[in-house]
Amino acid sequence: MGYLGNHLATVCTGIFAAVLTGLWAFWDLSPVLDFVFLMAVPITWFMTFTCWISQKSTDYAHNHGSSHAQIEKKSLSSTQTIQTTTSGNQIGLSEIKQVQSELSAELNTLKESVKLKDGEIERLNQEISNLQTLVQIESLKTELANLKMLASKRK
């Protein structure tokens, strides 16, 4: 985090804005430079304010989010039971593990079923491919027979 609390950009921009303000306020400048400083000074102070606000927002988001997550983790790890909001029943950690193992077993059976179905689909796709090849061969035979018949008619 550092000595400046991640506000290095804010401090640098603020120092630059202060230097520009000092130069503009205390030195007698030409009209062209006076106009440049008239534009630059408010812009640098606005940039300083923007850097400060953005860093405050980032600090708030990180501190608020991490502390909230830590509180939830502590409360979940310290209690062995979870209360459901709809029925108000207490569910023990062992019951959750049991349901989890049942669901894992059911998931494994579904995966095996899907593997069988995938194998069957692959076999059917192979048969379709073979049938398409046979149809193409028959089509070529028919075309060849038609060409032979046309050739014999011309002779």
d(CA 126, CA 132): 10
pLDDT of residue 86: 53
List pLDDT tens digits, range 91-129. Answer: 788 888 889 999 999 999 888 888 888 888 889 999 999
Torsion of CA 19, 44, 38, 20, to 10 degrees: 10
**What is the chain's length?**
155
Residue 22 token pair = 């000092």
Q: How confident is the model at residue 10 (pLDDT cuts 50, 70, 90)?
A: very high
List pLDDT tens digits, range 41-96. Answer: 999 999 999 999 999 998 888 887 655 555 555 555 545 445 554 555 677 888 88
pLDDT of residue 140: 92
